[in-house]
A and B are shown apart, each in its own frame.
Chain A
Amino acid sequence: MMAANTSAGAALIAKALGVAVKDVPSDARMDEYALWDSFSHEQILTELEKTLGRKLGPDEVVGIECLGDIDKILSA
């Protein structure tokens, strides 16, 4: 596992999961990060929509697999 980072996506995941940003690995993936389960996936995507102020499109929803995907959407 790589070191933690402080990207906007990491902050969002930390908020959704109720953990410190430093505890979110920079390579966090839905199929590897233990705290990222089906239930928290909903919390992460809901938090992302709240931050964006809009609903995610179906292409975006199905494309989210890791922290990098969230960072990409946030920076678009």
Chain B
Amino acid sequence: MDKLPAAEPLKIKTERFELRSLTAADITPHWIDWLNDPEILNPLNTPPRNHTVQSLASQLKGYDNWEHYHVGIFVSESQLHIGLHEMNLNRKKRLMQTNVLLGDKTWWGKDVVLETRGALLDYFFFEQDIEKAYGMPLARNFPMIFNYKVQGWTLDKILHENLVSITTGEKLDQYRFVMMRDDWARLREGSS
């Protein structure tokens, strides 16, 4: 693709969810609650930041919907905001790093990540010319390992003792999972 489309907020519908670029208008007490919940953040080794409406609004300004995306997961029926995806792209290298946070615990174990990340891979691989995606979950984040494996990502590398735990000071292992566009196309073809 020679010319890439201009940056614009992302909006995608899946079977059960809506994915859209988050703005200050999306900030609710519900979002702030799970964003400050240590049980949600610890598996990501992310410290609670005691977010407020103001701090979150300020943080959202850092996402340009071009190389940095902060995308909310909303339940279509209720419009409840239950989680988010963050994508950081290197468009020159056609590379994308993905992160996901499922903040509403009532939706854990219900294939939210598989459904929504699948839609994002479709979008970035086939409409935004990304060729390679990768994610780097902590080795102790068992639900996330499940999602990468079941979705068909390839384990590229185990990064032994790559991080230090913010809660215990222990060294933490991390994985690097990779999905290539061609592999995703084959997986999609196989599942249809």
Contacts and interface: CB of A to CB of B under 8 A. Distances in A.
Contacts, number: 49
Contact of B150 (A31, A58, A59, A61): A31
B108 A38 contact: yes
Given A38-B113, A39-B109, A61 B146 contact: no
Contact of B145 (A31, A59, A61): A61
B139 A38 contact: no
A30 B146 CA distance: 8
Most A C-beta atoms less than 10 A away, residue of B110, B146, B173: B146
Interface residues of B, number: 20
A50 to B, nearest CB: 13
Interface of A: 30-31, 37-42, 45-46, 58-59, 61-62, 65
Interface of B: 108-111, 113, 139-140, 142-147, 149-150, 155, 158, 160, 173, 175
